[in-house]
Amino acid sequence: MIYLSTKLLFYIVSLLFSLLFLLHVTHAESIRTPPSLRFISFLFMSSKERPTLGGTRIKTRKRNIAAPLDPAAFSDAVVQIYLDNAGDLELVAKSIESSDLNFSRYGDTFFEVVFTGGRTQPGTTKPDEGERHPYSIIDCEPKREVILPSVIYIQKILRRKPFLIKNLENVMQRFLQSLELFEENESKKLAIFTALAFSQKLSGLPPEIVFQPLLKDNLVAKGLVLSFMTDFFREYLIHNSLDDLILILKRGKVEDNLLDFFPSAKRTPEAVSEHFTKAGLLPLVEYNEKKIFEMKLKEMKSMLTSQIAEEADISEVIVTVKQHVKDAKLPDIEVVRILWDVMMDAVQWSGKNQQQNANAALHQVKTWAKLLNTFCTTGKLELELLYKVQVQCYDDTKLMKLFPEIIKSLYHQDVLAEGTILHWFRKGTNPKGRQSFVKALEPFVKWLDEAEEEE
């Protein structure tokens, strides 16, 4: 019994000694811990918590718990702001700025409340359940002075919360693609709002966002797009220029042809002019007629270029030009100008060789003289052709010295009459290069005078 007690005491003392030794020498890397002590320390440490550095935070993985969407509650809260401020948009903007509502999550819902007074059913413009206010754009009068404050109000909101720009685009696109769901009066309000938005340079509303959704076949066929665009044009042109409007249409990629807004049965230039004339939009009528005219000139020039490049029979070319003139009702002066431009553009110039250039130009005049002669039927048209030659020879250095030779060739090919040349020589009004050209043509004019005296 004594033997066992002594042995147990010796074991306990040895264990305590080992622990004290371990605590004093573990910091010294040069001292190697004996296997027996390592085993004892392992037993001791395994029964305790592992040590941590002071001030550190143990990272634990958290679950990504997404809050459920609640656009109805958001919509009700915004509507309440309108109601509390009795529709005063200045006060509404301040309240929205100071609120803690989640606009980044419910931006589309916010603009639904702005436009319609409350939340709309998903994918439609119909009112959804929930609170509504009577101060929306759809509920107001279709007048500029009534809708303009809403445009300014939205501008303020976007300046403070620019991330809402995309939401405005989304809602506008959805509404414009659903014009058939709005009443005529409501569509007019949207058109006035859109015109004022562009007039006030409302950020977040690019023209392509507005015009491209409108070009849906069903909307165009029902005449809804034409009605919307007419209201838009009329409102925008009150305080903005036609050039500003054309710039917006160009950015929206719809400036080339206003016919796209018309139902297929009314897509004629005459129908466009009649409609916009009745709407009091004469500047737009003139612009559209000018665009059509330029397009027809371009078509004729393209056709003529191909035929001359292919050296088509001159009689065939004359027939084609006459047909274009008849269909497009092109002025004779424009036809003469185009004929000369296309003829000279087809010349194969040889760089710096002046003589070869002269020969090529004169050969072209001689080849197509009959074409010019067919359409230069009056002294006025001949004079216009002479002015055209004068300007081109002045603008193109390689033709500068060819002016008298070209005039002589046109005279000998019966394109220019003697009286036309003498009139230009004595009373010509175009100043471009006139002094030098008159001097260069003096010998030929003198010859004409002498020939006239002999006759």
Q: What is the pLDDT of residue 37?
A: 44
Q: How many CB atoms lie within 10 A of CB 316?
A: 10
Q: How many CB atoms lie within 10 A of CB 157?
A: 21
Token readout for 403 is: 């002016």
Token readout for 277 is: 């004339």
Instruction: State the Cα–Cα distance between residues 371 and 314, nearest whole angstrom.
Output: 7
Q: Tell me the DSSP string of 103-140.
A: TTTSHHHHHHHHHHSS-B-TTSSSBPSS---S-STTTS
The residues near 25 (Cβ < 8 Å, ≥ 6 apart) are 31, 33
Spell out the SS3 assignment of 368-395. CHHHHHHHCCCHHHHHHHHHHHHHHHHH
Residues of the chain with pLDDT under 70: 1-11, 13-69, 123-124, 204, 351-352, 451-455
Own/partner long-range contacts of 129-135 (Cβ < 8 Å, ≥24 apart): 129/72, 130/72, 130/75, 130/76, 130/79, 131/75, 131/76, 131/79, 131/80, 131/83, 132/79, 133/79, 133/82, 133/83, 133/87, 134/87, 135/82, 135/87, 135/89
Instruction: State the Cα–Cα distance between residues 285 and 440, nearest whole angstrom.
Output: 46
- The answer to whether 269 and 175 are in contact (CB under 8 A) is no
> Computed from CA positions of residues 122, 124, 125, 128, in that sequence, does the dihedral angle turn out positive or negative?
negative
Q: What is the pLDDT of residue 296?
A: 87
For the chain, the first-to-last Cα distance in angstroms comes to: 167
Instruction: State the Cα–Cα distance between residues 80 and 87, nearest whole angstrom.
Output: 10
Closest by Cα among 168, 70, 69, 162 to 115: 168
The angle subtended at Cα 101 by Cα 175 and Cα 148, nearest 5°, is 45
Q: What is the pLDDT of residue 41?
A: 47
Helix (H, G, I), strand (E, B) or coil at 434: helix
Q: What is the pLDDT of residue 2?
A: 44
Q: What is the pLDDT of residue 151?
A: 95
- The answer to whether 127 and 121 are in contact (CB under 8 A) is yes
Q: How far is CA 415 from CA 180, 185, 336, 365, 373, in A?
A: 61, 62, 11, 10, 5
Q: How do the residues of the chain divide into helix, strand and coil, expressed in percent and rounded to 5?
A: 70, 0, 30
Q: What is the pLDDT of residue 243?
A: 93
Q: What is the pLDDT of residue 22?
A: 56
Q: What is the pLDDT of residue 13?
A: 61
Helix (H, G, I), strand (E, B) or coil at 200: coil
Q: What is the pLDDT of residue 69?
A: 59
pLDDT in tens, 439-454: 999 999 988 887 666 6
Closest by Cα among 393, 394, 444, 384 to 415: 384
User: What are the φ/ψ torsions at residue 127 (nearest 5 degrees)?
Assistant: -65, 140
CATH number of 294-454: 1.25.40.180
pLDDT in tens, 66-87: 445 588 999 999 999 999 999 9
Q: How many CB atoms lie within 10 A of CB 401?
A: 14
Burial class (CB in 10 A: 0-12, 13-18, 19+), 134: exposed
Exposed e or buried b per residue across 323-359, where buried means at least 16 C-beta atoms within 10 angstroms of its C-beta: ebbeebebeeebbbbbbbebbbebeeeeeeeeeebbe
- The answer to whether 117 and 133 are in contact (CB under 8 A) is yes
